[in-house]
Amino acid sequence: MQRATIPAIGAAKAWRAAARGFLAANIAPEDILWGDHSAAPDLFATEAPPSARGAVTVPRSFLALAESVAWHSDPQRFARLYAFLWRVKDAPHLMSDRADPDLARLRQMEKGVRRCQHKMTAFVRFREIGAPDAPRRSFAAWFEPTHHTVEPTADFFVRRFGDMDWRILTPDVSAIFENGALSFHEGHAKPDLPDDAGEQLWITYFRNIFNPARLMVRAMQSEMPKKYWKNMPEAAAIPDLIAQAPARARAMAAAAPTLPPARMAQVQAQLAGCQSAWNGPTEALPAAIAACTRCPLHRNATQAVPGEGPRDAALMIVGEQPGDMEDLGGRPFIGPAGQMFDTIAARAGLQREAAYLTNAVKHFKFAPRGKQRLHQRPNGSEIEHCRWWLDAEIAQVKPKLVVAMGATAAQSLTGNGAAILSRRGQIEESRSGVPVLITLHPSYLLRLTDAAAQERAKAQFQADLAQAVAITASGSTASSGGANIAAPPS
């Protein structure tokens, strides 16, 4: 049985040397007792490890892993490292096997060491101990790390504080930097360090940067564990800051402006881009729509399709967008969906010539498939850009009621295109204040393959159009159909 005692100072280097010798001598992990300076000696074990003979090749990634794990506080860290090294020397691919439990444990230990190093760089607090007239200022700090991380982290402090002398004292190993030379010594009892005149200024700064509106106690304690608080001067203020956080957050919200002026200008500019300011003569509106380039849909469509019908119609019908036939013919509702609309509208007592027919989007959006052009639903940006022209048509026609057929029309008129089947038959208020009756789109009826479902949908659509005729005839939105104006669902 072999025994290897690894010293507290230079542990990573000492372990590598011992492991190299055991590996070269082909000594299995179960024949080695690993220990550190705190372990009791074994009466039956040979203390000195064999000297290394020949080259031992292992993956570089393992060496980096061992460099961190060697500083962990687990007494079994050296044995775990050697046991995995014994396996990986013949199977280097194990370093990339995430399912290997030994590697997973070592990776977890590596993560713990690196986290402890991060905490050390963040929470070490120096206090000046040197004489004011000394050629180099001198500082000291007391720290209690979770793992043995003083030695691997000391270079950070050398780089950061190379122009002064300092010492970091811990119960395990202490680092001393004097006159540009770094050395390590045995652990030290907690010293009685003098007060720092700058601490009160630091605590005042800490109080002022504390944001009560973003307080998350668990997250804070995860990043700043309470075990470190006793050695951090600002930690004394934390309980009071946590207790006052709700009241301070409410006070901040009450004192905050409702909307900063710069942001208000951006919001107003965005609203202006979607609200129609077109106020030309009635006969010029179709030409203005035809020349529209407000969104990319104009690039592939044959032409824009404006609305048609009486300019003083009491009823306006709004669909989604032109289809293939409408795009080629330049008129709304002349394709299969338009023919379905004409048929059912006639049954409901609505003559096409008596209503103003238009679409929420004026250009045909499609995807080419060979010689066919397959319809594509407009997105929210395209609907908002084209609302400029729909608002202009509503402003000129001034209808008593608008019928929104389908989700796109409902989205453009009310701002909500969801749940059309549950909203159909209801009257809502449009963004411009005109009453809007929600109903199905004729193309939805055409897509239904179940004959019974299609007949039910046709009956519902006919009832909605009949209700629209009754409302415009009576001049009241409280029609014989019993519908009342409702706010659009949020």
pLDDT in tens, 298-351: 888 899 999 999 988 999 999 999 999 998 999 999 999 999 999 999 999 999
For 112, the token pair is 């713990």
Q: What is the pLDDT of residue 480?
A: 38
Provide the pLDDT for residue 468: 92
Residue 91 CB partners (closer than 8 Å, separation 6+):
none
Per-residue model confidence (pLDDT) at position 29: 94
pTM score, whole prediction: 0.49
- Burial group, residue 424, by CB count within 10 angstroms (0-12, 13-18, 19+): buried
pLDDT band for position 490 (50/70/90)? very low
Cα–Cα distance for residue pair 92/108, rounded to 1 Å: 20
Which is more confident, 280 or 46?
280
Task: Give residue 272's pLDDT.
Answer: 62
Per-residue pLDDT, 107 = 96
Token representation of residue 254: 């009450």
User: What pLDDT shows up at residue 487?
Assistant: 47
Range with lowest mean pLDDT among 172-176, 181-185, 477-481: 477-481
Structure confidence by residue, pLDDT tens digits, 226-245: 888 888 888 888 888 888 88
All structural domains of the chain, each given as residue ranges with its CATH number in brackets, are 2-120 (no CATH), 124-186 (no CATH), 199-255 (no CATH), 274-486 (3.40.470.10)
246-270 confidence digits (pLDDT tens): 888 888 888 877 666 666 677 666 6
User: What confidence tier does 138 reach under pLDDT thresholds 50, 70, 90?
Assistant: very high
What is the model's pLDDT at position 273?
A: 58
Strand partners, 300: none
Q: Is the pLDDT of residue 477 over 70?
A: no
Residue 48 is predicted with a pLDDT of 55
pLDDT tens by residue, 73-114:
999 999 999 999 999 998 999 999 989 999 999 999 999 999
Q: What is the mean pLDDT of residues 417-423?
A: 90
3-class DSSP state for residue 51? coil
> What pLDDT score does 200 carry?
79
φ, ψ for residue 402, nearest 5 deg = -115, 130
Q: pLDDT class for 479, splitting at 50, 70, 90?
A: very low
Residues facing 375 on adjacent strands: 366
Strand partners, 145: none
Model confidence at 430: pLDDT above 90: no
Q: What is the pLDDT confidence band of residue 51, given thresholds at 50, 70 and 90?
A: low
Provide the 8-state DSSP code for 302.
S
Q: What is the pLDDT of residue 94?
A: 93
Work out the average pLDDT over 368-379: 89
Helix axes 380-397, 407-414, angle to 10 degrees: 70
Average pLDDT in the chain = 86
201 has a pLDDT exceeding 60? yes
